[in-house]
C-alpha cells in the first residue's frame, strides 16, 4: 500500500545558514517503510523538494527539505517503524525477530534487525548502592563472564565478557559508588572487590556459604560412607546373606502326573518315528499341544512359572541361589554350570527361574543400600521436617552406626540457622563447636571462613545477598538460548541491558 505525502509549506530553511527560501529547484520521491495498514505492508512515498539558497555568504547553493517528524535524513524507514523494529530485535533477537516481522507485514532481515540493535545508544550505567557480583556461563563449562546486579532493585547492571578480577577492578574504578558488594566466597571476585572498592562493605554471599558447606559435607560423606561400607561388608561375610526366596518343591499333583504320562506317551510315539499329525490323532490332542510336549525334554518343563510344582531344576536351586548371590546372573552360564552337575532339564527352565528372581528383586545386600555421598550430604542439610519417612529411617539407621554423622548434622543445621536467621553473632560459638567436636571436613570449612571473616560475618548479619543474581543469570540464559548460542558478546550484552 502506497501513501503519497508532500509538505505544504511554500519553502524551507537552509540547513547551513538557516535562511528561508521558496526558490524551487527540483523535486524527487523518497520511499519510507512504515507501520502496516490493515495488515498490509505500507510505504510512504514522500515527495521532497530541492530549494536554492540565495544568501551570498552561504556555500550551499541548493538544499533538500527535511521531514523530521517522519524520518531522519537518508533513512528508509519512518521513525515509528524503526522504533518498533528495535523493540522486536531486542526482545526476540535476529532470526525469530525476522520471522515475527514477516507475520506483521514489515519484512526485515535478521542482519538488519541485529544491526539496528547494535546501533542503539548505550544506556548510562548508574552504580547501585548494593552491588551483587557473580559469574555466568557464556559457553557452558567453557567460557564465563561476570554479571553485575543491583541487589536492591534486582536488575542487571552490566555484563563483562572477561571474568577476571582485573576486569572487575577496572569496572569498579570506572563506576565508583557501591557501598556494599555481595560476592562469592573468598574467590576471584572477593579479591577484585577488595581492590576495586576498598571502602565498600564486603558481604560473602549466603548462597555461596551454604554451597561451600554442602561441599564440605560431601567430602565428609565420602569418608564416612567408605568406612560404613567396609563395616557392613565384613558383617555380611560372617552372617551370610539370606538367599533369594526359594520355591519349595511340592509333591506332584494330578496335573503333573497326567502331564508326565502324556509326555512319556508322546515321546514313545516319536521314538517310533510317527509324525506330529499322526501322534495328534492317536492321543486326541491338537497338533500344537503335541508339538509342545515333543519339544519339552521333561514333562516338568511344560508348566508355566505360576503353575509350577516340581521341576528338574529343584535339586539345583540352592546351588543357583548361591551363585546368584555371588553375582552370577547370566542364565546361559548358570545353565552350563548346573548341567555339569547333572541337570538334564532345559535352558528355558533355568531362564524362567532367574526371571522370577529378577522380577521379585531379592533384597540387595545392606552395603549396597547406602546412599551416595551427595545424597547423604543433602540429607544432612535439609530441614528435619522436610525429610520423608523413608529418609528419616535411613538417617536413623546410619546414626546408629556412625555417631560422627549425628554431630555433623547438628553442626550443619546450626550453621543453616545462622544463615537463615542471620545470627552472625553466634558464628564464633559455631566455629568453637566445630573445632572442639566437629569432623575434620567441617573444621576445614570453618578455617576457610576465617580467611574471609569480616565478609562472612557481614553475610550472616546484613540483609543483603546476591541471591537475586541467580534469577538474573537465568534471564541472560534465556536471551542467550534465543540467540541459539551464536550470540556475540556485544549483542548479548546490549539485548540484556536494554531489554531489562
Ligand atoms: Zn544557506
Tens digit of pLDDT for each residue in 157-166? Answer: 888 888 888 8
From the CA of 47, how far away is ligand 1's center (Å)? 21
From the CA of 20, how far away is ligand 1's center (Å)? 8
From the CA of 4, how far away is ligand 1's center (Å)? 28
With cell 521513525, the residue in question is: 79
* Residues in contact with 124: Cβ distance below 8 Å, sequence separation at least 6, in sequence order: none
CA 324 – CA 328 distance, rounded (Å): 5
pLDDT at site 247? 46
For residue 413, is pLDDT > 60? Answer: yes
For residue 359, is pLDDT > 70? Answer: no
Q: Report the pLDDT averaged over residues 3-19.
A: 91
Question: CA triplet 483, 487, 489: central angle to 5 degrees?
Answer: 145
* Number of helices and strands in the chain (H, E): 20, 11
From the CA of 66, how far away is ligand 1's center (Å)? 14
CA 385 – CA 407 distance, rounded (Å): 18
pLDDT at site 236? 65
From the CA of 150, how far away is ligand 1's center (Å)? 51
Q: Report the pLDDT averaged over residues 269-283.
A: 85
From the CA of 15, how far away is ligand 1's center (Å)? 7
Q: Report the pLDDT averaged over residues 437-459.
A: 85
CA 500 – CA 495 distance, rounded (Å): 8
* Residues in contact with 410: Cβ distance below 8 Å, sequence separation at least 6, in sequence order: none
From the CA of 53, how far away is ligand 1's center (Å)? 5
Average pLDDT value for the chain: 82
From the CA of 50, how far away is ligand 1's center (Å)? 12
Residue 150: strand pairing partners: 131, 155
Bridging pattern class, strands 40-52 and 62-64? antiparallel
Cell digits of residue 207? 548462597
- The answer to whether the CB of 460 falls within 8 A of the CB of 420 is no
From the CA of 64, how far away is ligand 1's center (Å)? 11
pLDDT at site 44? 92
With cell 524362567, the residue in question is: 352
From the CA of 10, how far away is ligand 1's center (Å)? 17
Higher pLDDT, 235 or 126: 126
Q: Report the pLDDT averaged over residues 401-415.
A: 89
pLDDT at site 246? 47
pLDDT at site 249? 42
ipTM (interface predicted TM): 0.96
Higher pLDDT, 444 or 482: 444
Q: Residue 242 — very low, low, confident or very high, per pLDDT cuts 50/70/90?
A: very low
With cell 551454604, the residue in question is: 210
CA 86 – CA 84 distance, rounded (Å): 5
From the CA of 52, how far away is ligand 1's center (Å)? 8
Higher pLDDT, 236 or 83: 83
How much of the chain, in percent, has pLDDT values that exceed 70?
Answer: 87
Q: Report the pLDDT averaged over residues 410-420.
A: 88
From the CA of 7, how far away is ligand 1's center (Å)? 20
CA 404 – CA 414 distance, rounded (Å): 15
For residue 32, is pLDDT > 80? Answer: yes
CA end-to-end span of the chain, whole Å? 35
From the CA of 12, how far away is ligand 1's center (Å)? 10
The most confident of 27-41, 124-138, 441-455, by mean pLDDT: 27-41
Residue 201: strand pairing partners: 180
Q: Where is 395: in which H helix or E strand? A: helix 389-401
For residue 299, is pLDDT > 60? Answer: yes
For residue 305, is pLDDT > 50? Answer: no
From the CA of 79, how far away is ligand 1's center (Å)? 27
Q: Report the pLDDT averaged over residues 248-267.
A: 69
CA atoms within 13 A on the CB side of 240: 4
From the CA of 441, how far away is ligand 1's center (Å)? 82
CA 50 – CA 61 distance, rounded (Å): 10
From the CA of 27, how far away is ligand 1's center (Å)? 18
- The answer to whether the CB of 18 falls within 8 A of the CB of 35 is no
Q: In degrees rounded to 5, what are phi and psi of residue 37? A: -115, 125
From the CA of 21, how far away is ligand 1's center (Å)? 9
With cell 532470526, the residue in question is: 95
For residue 250, is pLDDT > 50? Answer: no
From the CA of 18, how far away is ligand 1's center (Å)? 6
Tell me if residue 60 falls in helix, strand or coil.
coil
Q: Residue 243 — very low, low, confident or very high, per pLDDT cuts 50/70/90?
A: very low
Which has the minimum average pLDDT: 32-41, 180-189, 419-428? 180-189
Question: CA triplet 469, 450, 152: central angle to 5 degrees?
Answer: 25
Amino acid at each position: 500500500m502506497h501513501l503519497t505525502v508532500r509538505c505544504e509549506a511554500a519553502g524551507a530553511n537552509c540547513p547551513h545558514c538557516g535562511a528561508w527560501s521558496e526558490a524551487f529547484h527540483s523535486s524527487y520521491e523518497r520511499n519510507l517503510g512504515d507501520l502496516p495498514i490493515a495488515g498490509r505492508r505500507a510505504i510512504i512515498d514522500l515527495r521532497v523538494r530541492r530549494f536554492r539558497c540565495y544568501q551570498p555568504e552561504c556555500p550551499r547553493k541548493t538544499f533538500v527539505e527535511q521531514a523530521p517528524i517522519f524520518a531522519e535524513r537518508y533513512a528508509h524507514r519512518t521513525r515509528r517503524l524503526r522504533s518498533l523494529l528495535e523493540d522486536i530485535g531486542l526482545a526476540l533477537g535476529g532470526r525469530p525477530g525476522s520471522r515475527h516481522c514477516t507475520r506483521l507485514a514489515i519484512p526485515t532481515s535478521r542482519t538488519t534487525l541485529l544491526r539496528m540493535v547494535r546501533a542503539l545508544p548505550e544506556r548510562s550505567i548508574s552504580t547501585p548502592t548494593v552491588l551483587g557480583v557473580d559469574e555466568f556461563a557464556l559457553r557452558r563449562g567453557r567460557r564465563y563472564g561476570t554479571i553485575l546486579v543491583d541487589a536492591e532493585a534486582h536488575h542487571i547492571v552490566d555484563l563483562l565478557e572477561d571474568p577476571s578480577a582485573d576486569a572487575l577492578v577496572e569496572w569498579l574504578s570506572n563506576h565508583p559508588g557501591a557501598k556494599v558488594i555481595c560476592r562469592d566466597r573468598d574467590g576471584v571476585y572477593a579479591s577484585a572487590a577488595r581492590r576495586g572498592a576498598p571502602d565498600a562493605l564486603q558481604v560473602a554471599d549466603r548462597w555461596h556459604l551454604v554451597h561451600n558447606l554442602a561441599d564440605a559435607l560431601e567430602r565428609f560423606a565420602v569418608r564416612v560412607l567408605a568406612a560404613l561400607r567396609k563395616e557392613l561388608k565384613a558383617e555380611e561375610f560372617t552372617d551370610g546373606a539370606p538367599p533369594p526366596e526359594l520355591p519349595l518343591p511340592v509333591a506332584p499333583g494330578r496335573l503333573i502326573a497326567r502331564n508326565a504320562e502324556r509326555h512319556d506317551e508322546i515321546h514313545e510315539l516319536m521314538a517310533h518315528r510317527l509324525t506330529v499329525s499322526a501322534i495328534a490323532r492317536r492321543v486326541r490332542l491338537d497338533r500344537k499341544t503335541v508339538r509342545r510336549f515333543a519339544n519339552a525334554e521333561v514333562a516338568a518343563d511344560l508348566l508355566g512359572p505360576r503353575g509350577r510344582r516340581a521341576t528338574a531344576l529343584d535339586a539345583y536351586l540352592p546351588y543357583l541361589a548361591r551363585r546368584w548371590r555371588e553375582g552370577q546372573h547370566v542364565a546361559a552360564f548358570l545353565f552350563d554350570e548346573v548341567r555339569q552337575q547333572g541337570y538334564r532339564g532345559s535352558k528355558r527352565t533355568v531362564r524362567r527361574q532367574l526371571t522370577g528372581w529378577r522380577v521379585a528383586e531379592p533384597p540387595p545386600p545392606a552395603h549396597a543400600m547406602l546412599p551416595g555421598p551427595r545424597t547423604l550430604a543433602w540429607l544432612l542439610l535439609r530441614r528435619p521436617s522436610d525429610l520423608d519417612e523413608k529418609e528419616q529411617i535411613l538417617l536413623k539407621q546410619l546414626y546408629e552406626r556412625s555417631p560422627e554423622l549425628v554431630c555433623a548434622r547438628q553442626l550443619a543445621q546450626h550453621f543453616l540457622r545462622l544463615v537463615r536467621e542471620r545470627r552472625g553473632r553466634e558464628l564464633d560459638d559455631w566455629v568453637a563447636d566445630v573445632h572442639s567436636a566437629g569432623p575434620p571436613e567441617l573444621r576445614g570449612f570453618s578455617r576457610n571462613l576465617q580467611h574471609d571473616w569480616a565478609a562472612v560475618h557481614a553475610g550472616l548479619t546484613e540483609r543483603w545477598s546476591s541471591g537475586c543474581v541467580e534469577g538474573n543469570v537465568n534471564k541472560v540464559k534465556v536471551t542467550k538460548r534465543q540467540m541459539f548460542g551464536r550470540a556475540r558478546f556485544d549483542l548479548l550484552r546490549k539485548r540484556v541491558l536494554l531489554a531489562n
